[in-house]
Structure 1
Amino acid sequence: MLLASPRPSYGIVGQDIVIFGQSMSAPWPARRSIISIQLLTQLGLDLGLSLDRCLHGTGLSPLQLASLNGEIDAERELNLIANLIEALPTVSDLGLQAGRRYHLTTYGAWGYAILSSATVRQAAELGLRYHGLTYAFTRISLSVADDIVSLNFDDSALPPALHDFIVQRDMLGALVVVRELLGSALPLLALELRQPAPADVSPFIAAFGQIPRFGAAHNRLGFTADLLDNPLPRANPQLVNACEQQCQALLARHQWHQGVAGRVRQLLLQSPGQLADMEQVAERLHLSSRTLRRRLIEEGTSFRALQDEVRQALAEELLAAGGLSLEEIAERLGYGELSNFIHAFKRWKGITPGRYQREAIV
């Protein structure tokens, strides 16, 4: 758990979000760009909070926050959201204020891919295909019925204390993207939220242009279905292809951190030379060794395979960086004998680590 305060703290074990020992399925990737945390931190600062108050319990330093290309665990963002809600209880439209800050350009390759799409339909297909690269904690889907195309926001996996903030942020953030994509404020044919009606609905009118139907069965934004085949003003097929390739690479990198296997990899990376065994890793994940073994089998892997995978990745990185002898690298990776490291590396790459290092440095 990340926070020591009495209120709930949020941690992710595999793809489950854990709240006081309870877990629920988490539809979002375990890793995400740091941009969202930067936006939320700035929101807190603009509303009078200190940087320390915003980052309390997230494990992030101001230096890490300033990173332009950093990635963070999703749980850190959940903790920051909890900080904002706790510190600003009288700001009833906090989620809406957050949602306004998520412009197309804040999404990197994902944003430019949909911005350069030929039609709204292509943009929607690309956006949903790489939904894991957005900052949403709701599961977003698209449906068409009765000449209305709806963006649906499944909130079933959200922590209850953060529910309203996240739904408001995700829905308004999506509407901001649609408006910027089209270059105009398209009227909504449906605006529904599952949350109860607040005492003051004026912030919702200002944000969405109309009063939502509160207490609805689903969270959704509805537009005319004719919208899907509208051409987009910034269509650029070459840029779409280039951005989609970037999206594929980013998703592949995020998947390395997903699931229980992803958490095991992260823990092994934190102390590669200490040869953490399954019992130690299981304890860190609040699981029994038996449960950990079963969960890894369900994901098609094993603890030993992950240990091997992490060692290989670290070996390649250390060899390419230079500055360390083969003996030092072998020791850092937990090999008692250099010969064992050489044998393992030849099994991974088909060449000796010495040759790999020479070719990498050249």
Structure 2
Amino acid sequence: MGLRQNTADFATGRADSFVPPGNFVGYRPSIEALTNAYAVIEALGPKSRQQIPPVALVQFGEWLGWPEWFKNGTTLVQGPGFPDRISVADDLIVIANIVDHGAAVEMLLRLSGDSKITGAPVVAPALYNAPSLHDALLLAKRSTEVTTPYVKMRLQVDERQFSIAIESEIEHGPLLEFASTAYLCSFQRFIDFFRPDVVEQIKFSFAAKRQGRISAFLDSLPGTKQFDAGIYAMAGDPDWLKARNSQTDPAFWNFALERVALMERDCNQSEVVDRIRAVICKAMETENRVPRLKQVAASERVSERTLVRTLAAHGTSFHKIVEEERRLIASELIGNTSISLAEIARALGFTDMSSFGRSFRQWYGMTPGQARLWRTD
């Protein structure tokens, strides 16, 4: 029998306890994962408001057909799709909704066998254009940590083996079980791409018991498994890491590196820089133009000189922020063939295609047309 959702179901009884960001409607089969999510959000404090790209959640929503419970309890608008960035809190709640509504195994099956690698446009370029397996795993580790700040990946290599262990602020339970297994499935696919001959030799460790909710799926994974291990991890021969990629493209590899570096930078910015980025993005989104420094200073209620000094104190500048946001938006839109290259140029505030083309080549070492062809292929 389903459970009626009420905010009170998750109250801790403390005056300073976490307040759920959204409303609850309808029934849900379980509240176990959601309770785990709330504990993490409360422990993160202000970090739970950090904005991150939805990454795999977009594909999860598409795979599930955007059910009405998918965004339940979040601040997100109901229905298909996500904004470019969502809060860490909303990210955790959506994942908890997937687990509590019994869709975890379906998502894991798609993750382990779907033709698309979740996390594109960062993870896919890292996989298909990384010079070596070691490079691919390192970049995947960085992209995972920056898009899920409640998770750390410990990659260790010695003469006997390499291992990837998952450390998380999520308490042991169904939420951690699903999230950790999803990460391991993604890493397993990296190994399979570089060394398909060794996937049966991967050694998995699961904190979950063999009789857990997704034990049948875990048993189906290639490789050896240790259950009730107290940790989620995988290990293999260190020689696998030397596997080279005959399909590597240095330009697209650098593209992937920059995307992750931009996300890492965003996570370490101050609130004032975040606000300025938001003003710039809104102007490009709604007015197809880049705002003037004078307008942004007015929105902050400071002089232009003060704003310049403030940004310099945070190691950046107005021009640098504009260029970073243009690069990021361009890399997001370039794979969307329903939007013409001319429309992308206008959306970024360029007055003509030649200016857009010159800037794009400076950013990524290729033309917009070349990037679109690669992304669509």
TM-score, normalization by structure 2: 0.60
User: Taking structure 1 as reference, are residues 153 and 28 closer, same or farther at Cα in structure 2, changes over 3 Å only?
Assistant: farther
Paired residue for 2:69, among 43, 48, 53?
A: 53
Trace 1:36-185 onto structure 2 (pairs within 5 A): 36-45=56-65, 51-62=67-78, 65=81, 70-88=84-102, 93=105, 96-97=108-109, 99-100=111-112, 103-104=116-117, 106-133=119-146, 138-145=151-158, 147-158=160-171, 160-182=173-195
Counterpart for residue 204 of structure 1: 218
Does the C-alpha gap of structure 1 residues 210 and 230 become closer, same or farther in structure 2, counting only changes over 3 Å?
closer
Alignment of 1:195-344 (within 5 A): 195-198=208-211, 201-206=215-220, 208-210=221-223, 212-256=225-269, 265=271, 306=272, 309=273, 333=300, 335=301, 341=302, 344=303
Deviation at 1:159, TM superposition (A): 6.9
In the alignment, is the contact (CA less than 8 A) between 1:95 and 1:166 conserved in 2? no
Paired position in structure 2 for 1:347: 306
Task: Tell me the equivalent position of 1:277.
Answer: none
- 1:188 corresponds in structure 2 to 201
TM-score, normalised relative to structure 1: 0.62
Q: Percent identity?
A: 10
| CA contact 1:318–1:324 (8 Å) conserved in 2 | no
Q: CA separation in 2, counterparts of 1:202 and 1:312?
A: 49
Query: In the TM superposition, what whole-angstrom CA distance separates every residue of 1:293-327 from its partner, at most 9, and x where no partner exists?
Result: xxxxxxxxxxxxx4xx5665577678986799999
**d(CA) in 2 for partners of 1:147, 1:52:** 49
Question: Structure 1 residue 10: deviation in Å?
Answer: 7.0
Unaligned 5+ runs, structure 1:
12-16, 266-305, 336-340, 351-355
Give the direction of change, closer, same or farther, for the CA distance of 1:103–1:323 in structure 2 (3 Å limit).
closer
| Mapped contact 1:204–1:211 kept (Cα < 8 A) | no
Rounded to whole Å, the distance in 1 between the matches of 2:44 and 2:70 is 25
The structure that has the greater radius of gyration is 1
- 1:29–1:254 Cα contact (<8 Å) kept: no
Bigger relative contact order, structure 1 or 2, given CA contacts below 8 A and separation 6+?
A: 1
Aligned partners of 1:32 and 1:71 also within 8 Å: yes
Contact kept, 8 Å, 1:2 with 1:59, in 2: the verdict is yes
Q: 1:193 Cα deviation (Å)?
A: 0.6
Aligned-residue offset at 1:139: 1.8
Distance in 1 between residues matched to 2:204 and 2:46, nearest whole Å:
25
Code of the residue aligned with 1:51 in structure 2: it is P
Which range is displaced more, 220-229 or 102-111?
A: 102-111
Alignment root-mean-square deviation, CA: 4.3
What is the DSSP-based 3-state SS (H/G/I as helix, E as strand, rest coil) of the residue aligned with 2:86?
strand
Deviations 1:183-230 (A, max 9, x none): 566223421111122168432232x12452111132211111111112
Matched position secondary structure for 2:264: helix
* 8 A contact 2:199–2:223 mirrored in 1: no
Residue 73 of structure 1 deviates from its aligned partner by: 1.5
Distance 1:21 1:217 in 2: 23
**1:44/1:84 contact within 8 Å kept:** no
Structure 2 counterpart of 1:140, one-letter code: M
CA contact (8 A) 1:138 1:170 kept: no
Q: Is the 2:48–2:87 Cα contact (8 Å) retained in structure 1?
A: no
SS in 2 for 1:151: strand
Asked if the contact 1:109/1:246 (under 8 Å) is kept, the reply is yes
Q: Which of 9, 21, 40 in structure 2 is aligned with 1:2?
A: 21
Shift of 1:134: 5.2
2: distance between equivalents of 1:327 and 1:8?
Answer: 50
